Amino acid sequence: MSNNRLSENFESAGQPPQQAAQMKHLLGVGLDNEDGHKRVTQAEKFSVVGGSEETHGRMTETLIKTFEDLRHRGKALEEADPQELRDILEKNRSC
């Protein structure tokens, strides 16, 4: 994927530090938008912002498949090991 990043947000504004550490959210940012459209997709545990139509769609699909894989493994995002999550994201990115 060109010019986009997937990152984890471990803290939530306004939450006490103990609760914020328990919350996770994945963020996809696309930087290749040249058509002027503002694209934002939000779900409970992920958000995708920016990007061309193709990039935004691919990032969204990657994250949807990642959460499906986690569900099949019986895990929530908060329970996934960072390396396991990275591997799942990489597998789904190439689909």
Q: Which phi-psi region, left, alpha or beta, contains residue 81 (left: φ > 0; alpha: ψ -120 to 50)?
A: beta
95/45: higher pLDDT: 45
69 — pLDDT class (breaks 50, 70, 90): very high
Whether residue 74 is predicted with pLDDT greater than 70 in this model: the reply is yes
Whether residue 11 is predicted with pLDDT greater than 70 in this model: the reply is no
Helix (H, G, I), strand (E, B) or coil at 44: coil
Boundaries of domain holding 77:
4-93
Which amino acid is it at 2? S
Whether residue 1 is predicted with pLDDT greater than 60 in this model: the reply is no
Q: Which residue(s) pair with 42 in the sheet?
A: 47
Whether residue 6 is predicted with pLDDT greater than 50 in this model: the reply is no
Domain count along the chain: 1
Q: What is the pTM of this model?
A: 0.74
